[in-house]
Structure 1
């Protein structure tokens, strides 16, 4: 029997674009936070990630809506970064105040902004940058600021930049995590390929690949998207405030041993929610299935529920065969060793609870002959994005204002 242990898992609540407290998406935010906070109280999620574009115009009154929503869930840990709309009018004064109040508090990890003299169009200027790192659930998490170093001036636009000090900090932080044997996850507003400075674009994508960063979690796109490159999973979640991509909700991402998993949880679908965290799906895999497990397979799944243990159950099925029970394996997961017949393709895990609600996740486990692809010619971009994958919440059409959607 496998030893009991936990996994790293968090909720990603997409770009908020808050404007007025009475707006529908402000109500959606409050409902999402309530659900995620309940899951955190049950020990099922580590924190909620807010990927920037928190306020439509980066104004104090809009951030006040977020603060009030967070105040309703005071025990929910939150990690936030800035997006381009947080500098919509060329200043980040109001975002800086939000960052100090939320990220600088115990619920936000107690992080402080940094001031750097960065090159500007005319003169060097002292700029506040809000990037930070901490180890959560055995994973080293690095939260980047792609906004503050941008010019944000007429003729330059709301461009994405890191600045030399942040880039050097990131390189050192990744190297230190590697020495400590810690897996890494990077949290950023958008793809590295969207950085405006070519050498920063190449450097960020290169650092991510060189250090085998497991997950890059992003906002900005407004649609759900997974772009695995054989080493790193780039994942973006749909917007809460400017949504064209289906039901509003939140993404759930997890790192369980050697496997990184991701799935979208719609708000209009009741709990429970299940996500298979081992084995890896063939589309997200970074290594072949362990040959030592020939003839059997080790299945683990994250279960999110508002019902107590004993009120719900989980079962696993291979293709159209009979289902087998799964048993708790730590506070968040269920586990089962099952035979894996030659030629088997699909693995399904179903959770049911006493309320009559149920949820199923289906994957195609990676094989023993899998070989990760070579580095792409545009690393850190969406060129490796997966097509539609309904079980994960992917429509595959890139319907959003930054690609193919309408102008908001």
Structure 2
């Protein structure tokens, strides 16, 4: 299991009296409190400094260094406002891009889609980085799942969208993490899950927070935690919610006859009690396995859609619940994948998933909001 956090675009700026930076400080504190022992890394997806000044980068870097998990920082169009990334690298992110790291057993790729452009939202990978992406993904072992992080969806690229999105779909990329939209969004193009995390500065919709994700085998899970929403925090990591299923032949994404349940409980004490409920009528107490993942199993489950909830309850009464909708398909021929259309584009947006932090207004530069 691989677990990670993603912060939103900071847009750190003296123009708002550094309000977004103060929010980032609080989010880093929350991450250290409840997530640091269970997640492997975190990501800042770009637009870290609102106007690419050395002071803005330096201040973001000072806060980022307080995080107790490895942090990978990407550039966005606002970070490139000066026409270069020298201050970005000097004060915030000295590691070169593009870059690939194996984290746990998963290949994670971090991309720069601003340097090849002319500034502003002129997003491009460029010829050299595109060739690197082909080579790196092509060298992955057969059946391996990869993660990719970039500032925006492939559909926002000024050139190469079709090539890049088709490559991600073909080479077993499970998830692509982005920023840029200013709102929480999830896309499922039938091959890859794309997740954008709400900005921390210049928010147009909802409170600030961070997204919490996991790759559990071939199952992607994603949920947004708002700032100061309390603990514990529950994330069902398997089976897949039907909205995030990309392979209907997979028995972990689409279970058969029984539903094995796996969940992460963050920020909990040793006295926490974790239970699962299926369709509001079947109850199960989960237990920890050797890796600290909470597990259980519902047997003899009929075909169709089922509502699965996992609840963590502390001795003081504090509680949290994650709910997913699971498709079960018992032994018979499974549906075949149709032709791929509009890969990597936000036509595949889930639009609304309030319980996971997606209210559906899509207020931001990609859809219905202002053009920052």
Is the TM value for this pair above 0.5? yes
Residue of structure 1 aligned with 2:49, choices 41, 44, 55: 55
Equivalence for 1:98: 91
What is the DSSP-based 3-state SS (H/G/I as helix, E as strand, rest coil) of the residue aligned with 1:214? strand
Q: How big is the shift at 1:320? A: 1.6
Equivalence for 1:72: 66
Residue of structure 2 aligned with 1:380, choices 336, 341, 344: 344
Aligned residues of 1:9 and 1:255 also touching (Cα < 8 A): yes
Q: Structure 1 residues 375 and 185 mapped into 2: Cα distance closer, same or farther (>3 Å)?
A: farther
Aligned residues of 2:276 and 2:310 also touching (Cα < 8 A): yes
Equivalence for 1:27: 22
What is the DSSP-based 3-state SS (H/G/I as helix, E as strand, rest coil) of the residue aligned with 1:221? coil
Q: How big is the shift at 1:407? A: 4.4
Q: How big is the shift at 1:22? A: 4.6
Superposed counterparts of 1:7-406, under 5 Å: 7-20=1-14, 22-42=17-37, 44-73=38-67, 75-99=68-92, 102=93, 104=94, 111=95, 113=96, 130-152=97-119, 157-179=120-142, 181-197=143-159, 200-288=160-248, 290=251, 294-305=256-267, 307-308=268-269, 310-342=270-302, 345-368=306-329, 371=335, 373-406=337-370
Q: Structure 1 residues 248 and 259 mapped into 2: Cα distance closer, same or farther (>3 Å)?
A: same
Q: How big is the shift at 1:332? A: 4.5
Q: How big is the shift at 1:335? A: 0.3
RMSD: 2.1
Aligned residues of 1:87 and 1:158 also touching (Cα < 8 A): no
Aligned residues of 1:178 and 1:211 also touching (Cα < 8 A): no
What is the DSSP-based 3-state SS (H/G/I as helix, E as strand, rest coil) of the residue aligned with 1:286? coil
Q: Map Cα deviations across residues 358-405 of structure 1 (whole Å, 9 max, x no partner).
A: 111111112327636534432111011113111111112210133211
Q: How many residues align?
A: 365
Q: Structure 1 residues 375 and 315 mapped into 2: Cα distance closer, same or farther (>3 Å)?
A: same
Q: Structure 1 residues 373 and 387 mapped into 2: Cα distance closer, same or farther (>3 Å)?
A: farther
Q: Which ranges in structure 2 are unaligned for 5 or more consecutive residues?
A: none
Consecutive aligned runs of 4 or more in structure 1 exceeding 6 Å deviation: none
Equivalence for 1:119: none
Q: Which ranges in structure 1 are unaligned for 5 or more consecutive residues?
A: 1-6, 105-110, 114-129
What is the DSSP-based 3-state SS (H/G/I as helix, E as strand, rest coil) of the residue aligned with 2:323? strand
